Chains A and B, each alone.
Chain A
Amino acid sequence: MPRTTRSRGRARWAPLLVLALVAVVGAGCGVTRGDPSKDMTMLIPNSPGGGYDQTGRAAVAAMEANDITGGTFEVHNITGAGGTIAFSELMRSDDEHTMLTVGLGVVGSAYSFGLDDKLQDATPLAQLIEDQEGILVPADSPYKTIDDFLEDWKKRPDQIAVGGGSSPGGPDHLFPMQLAKTVGIEPREVRYVPYDGGGPLTSALLGEKIKVGFSGLGEFEGQIKEGELRVLAVSGEKRLEGEMFSKFPTLKESGVDLVFTNWRGVLAPPGISDERRDAMIAYLEEMHESPEWQKALKDNKWIDEFKTGEEFKNFLEEQNARVEDTMKELGL
Chain B
Amino acid sequence: MDNLGLLADGLGAALTPENLMYAAIGVLLGTFVGVLPGIGPAMAVALLLPVTFGLEPTQAFIMFAGIYYGGMYGGSTTSILLNTPGESSSVMTAIEGNKMAKKGRAAQALATAAIGSFIAGTIGTLLVVFFAPILADFAVTIGAPSFFAIIVLAMVLVTSLLGESKLRGWISLFLGLTFGLIGMDLNTGQPRLDFGRPELGGRLDIVIVAVGIFALGEALWVAAHLRRKPLEIIPVGQPWMGKDDWGRSWKPWLRGTAIGFPFGAVPAGGAETPTFLSYLLERKLAKKKDEFGNGAIEGVAGPEAANNASAAGTFVPLLAMGIPVTATSAVMLAALTSYGIQPGPQLMTDHSDLVWTLLASLLIGNALLLVLNLPLAPLWAKLLSIPRPQLYAGILFFASLGAYAASQRAFDILLLLVFGLVGFMMRRFAFPVLPLIIGVILGPLMETRFREALAISGGDLDALWSEKLGVGLYVIAALVIVVPLVLKARRPSNPSDPDGTDGSTGPSDSDGSDNEKELVH
Which positions in A face B, CB cutoff 8 Å? 11-12, 14-15, 18-19, 21-23, 25-26, 29-30, 47-50, 53-54, 61, 76-82, 84-85, 88, 108-109, 112-113, 115, 158-159, 161, 167-170, 173, 191-200, 202-204, 206-207, 209-210, 219, 221-223, 225-226, 228, 299-300, 332
B482 adjacent to chain A (CB < 8 Å): no
Given A48-B46, A49-B333, A221-B342; A168-B187 close (CB under 8 Å): yes
Number of B residues contacting the other chain (C-beta, 8 Å)? 72
Query: Which A residues are in CB contact (< 8 Å) with B186?
Result: 167, 194, 196
Query: Which A residues are in CB contact (< 8 Å) with B224?
Result: none
CB distance from A298 to the nearest CB of B (A): 10
Q: Which one of B92-100, B153-161, B170-178, B451-459 contacts A? A: B451-459
- The chain B residue with its CB closest to the CB of A17 is B379
Q: Which one of B255-263, B321-329, B362-370 contacts A? A: B321-329
Do B191 and A167 have beta carbons less than 8 Å apart? Answer: no
B28 adjacent to chain A (CB < 8 Å): yes
Do A18 and B346 have beta carbons less than 8 Å apart? Answer: no
B501 adjacent to chain A (CB < 8 Å): no
Do A81 and B458 have beta carbons less than 8 Å apart? Answer: no
Instruction: Select one of A109, A193, A200 contacting B268, CB under 8 A.
Output: A200
- The chain B residue with its CB closest to the CB of A219 is B322
For the complex of A and B, the 9 pairs showing the least CB-CB separation, nearest first, are: A222-B344, A81-B201, A80-B202, A49-B330, A48-B46, A207-B140, A168-B189, A203-B267, A222-B322
Q: Is the interface of B mostly helix, strand, loop or mixed?
A: helix
Do A158 and B202 have beta carbons less than 8 Å apart? Answer: no
Given A167-B184, A222-B346; A84-B198 close (CB under 8 Å): yes
Instruction: Select one of B338, B342, B382, B455 contacting A193, CB under 8 A.
Output: B455
Do B331 and A79 have beta carbons less than 8 Å apart? Answer: no
Instruction: Select one of B31, B142, B340, B458 contacting A161, CB under 8 A.
Output: B458
Do A300 and B337 have beta carbons less than 8 Å apart? Answer: yes
Do B345 and A199 have beta carbons less than 8 Å apart? Answer: no
- The chain A residue with its CB closest to the CB of B141 is A207
Instruction: Select one of B43, B143, B201, B323 contacting A84, CB under 8 A.
Output: B201
Chain B, 366-412, CB within 8 A of any chain A CB: 376, 379-380, 382-383, 385, 407-409
Query: Which A residues are in CB contact (< 8 Å) with B324?
Result: 49, 199
A78 to B199, CA, bound (A): 11
Query: Which B residues are in CB contact (< 8 Å) with A19?
Result: 32, 35
Query: Which A residues are in CB contact (< 8 Å) with B184?
Result: 81-82, 109, 112-113, 167
Do B32 and A26 have beta carbons less than 8 Å apart? Answer: yes
B510 adjacent to chain A (CB < 8 Å): no
Do B321 and A50 have beta carbons less than 8 Å apart? Answer: no
Do B458 and A22 have beta carbons less than 8 Å apart? Answer: no
Instruction: Select one of A14, A84, A168, A222 contacting B345, CB under 8 A.
Output: A222
Do A49 and B46 have beta carbons less than 8 Å apart? Answer: yes
A30 to B54, CA, bound (A): 13
Q: Is the interface of A mostly helix, strand, loop or mixed?
A: helix
A221 to B45, CA, bound (A): 24
A170 to B452, CA, bound (A): 17
Instruction: Select one of B35, B187, B198 contacting A85, CB under 8 A.
Output: B198
Query: Which B residues are in CB contact (< 8 Å) with A18?
Result: 28, 376
- The chain B residue with its CB closest to the CB of A169 is B189
CB distance from B447 to the nearest CB of A (A): 13
Query: Which B residues are in CB contact (< 8 Å) with A198?
Result: 323
CB distance from A263 to the nearest CB of B (A): 19
Do B455 and A191 have beta carbons less than 8 Å apart? Answer: yes
Which positions in B face A, CB cutoff 8 Å? 25, 28-29, 31-33, 35, 42-43, 45-46, 48, 50-51, 139-144, 183-191, 198-199, 201-203, 267-268, 317, 321-325, 327, 329-331, 333-334, 337-338, 340, 342-347, 376, 379-380, 382-383, 385, 407-409, 448, 452, 455-458
A63 to B408, CA, bound (A): 24
Given A15-B376, A85-B198, A193-B455; A30-B330 close (CB under 8 Å): no
Q: How many A-B residue pairs have CB under 8 A?
A: 199
CB distance from A62 to the nearest CB of B (A): 13
Do A207 and B379 have beta carbons less than 8 Å apart? Answer: no
Query: Which B residues are in CB contact (< 8 Å) with A300?
Result: 337
Do B268 and A196 have beta carbons less than 8 Å apart? Answer: yes
Do B322 and A299 have beta carbons less than 8 Å apart? Answer: no
Instruction: Select one of B191, B343, B344, B452 contacting A112, CB under 8 A.
Output: B191
Query: Which A residues are in CB contact (< 8 Å) with B345?
Result: 222-223, 225-226, 228
Instruction: Select one of B45, B203, B337, B455 contacting A192, CB under 8 A.
Output: B455
Do A199 and B28 have beta carbons less than 8 Å apart? Answer: no
- The chain B residue with its CB closest to the CB of A22 is B32
Q: A81-B183, A161-B455 are in contact. List 4 more A-B contacts (CB 8 A).
A: A26-B48, A85-B409, A193-B456, A209-B456
CB distance from B497 to the nearest CB of A (A): 46
Query: Which A residues are in CB contact (< 8 Å) with B32?
Result: 19, 22-23, 26
Given A47-B42, A81-B201; A332-B407 close (CB under 8 Å): no
A207 to B136, CA, bound (A): 11
A201 to B139, CA, bound (A): 14
Q: List 20 A-B contacts (CB under 8 A).
A: A22-B31, A25-B25, A47-B327, A48-B334, A54-B334, A61-B50, A80-B202, A81-B198, A84-B198, A84-B201, A112-B190, A161-B458, A167-B187, A168-B188, A199-B267, A203-B268, A203-B317, A221-B342, A222-B342, A223-B344
A195 to B455, CA, bound (A): 11
Q: Which of A19, A161, A209 has the most CB of B within 10 A?
A: A209
Query: Which B residues are in CB contact (< 8 Å) with A228?
Result: 345
Do A113 and B458 have beta carbons less than 8 Å apart? Answer: no
Do B407 and A80 have beta carbons less than 8 Å apart? Answer: yes
Instruction: Select one of B51, B201, B380 contacting A113, CB under 8 A.
Output: B201
A21 to B29, CA, bound (A): 10
Query: Which B residues are in CB contact (< 8 Å) with A191?
Result: 455-456, 458
Given A15-B379, A222-B345; A194-B323 close (CB under 8 Å): no
Do A113 and B187 have beta carbons less than 8 Å apart? Answer: no
Do A85 and B202 have beta carbons less than 8 Å apart? Answer: yes
CB distance from A89 to the nearest CB of B (A): 8
Query: Which B residues are in CB contact (< 8 Å) with A158?
Result: 458
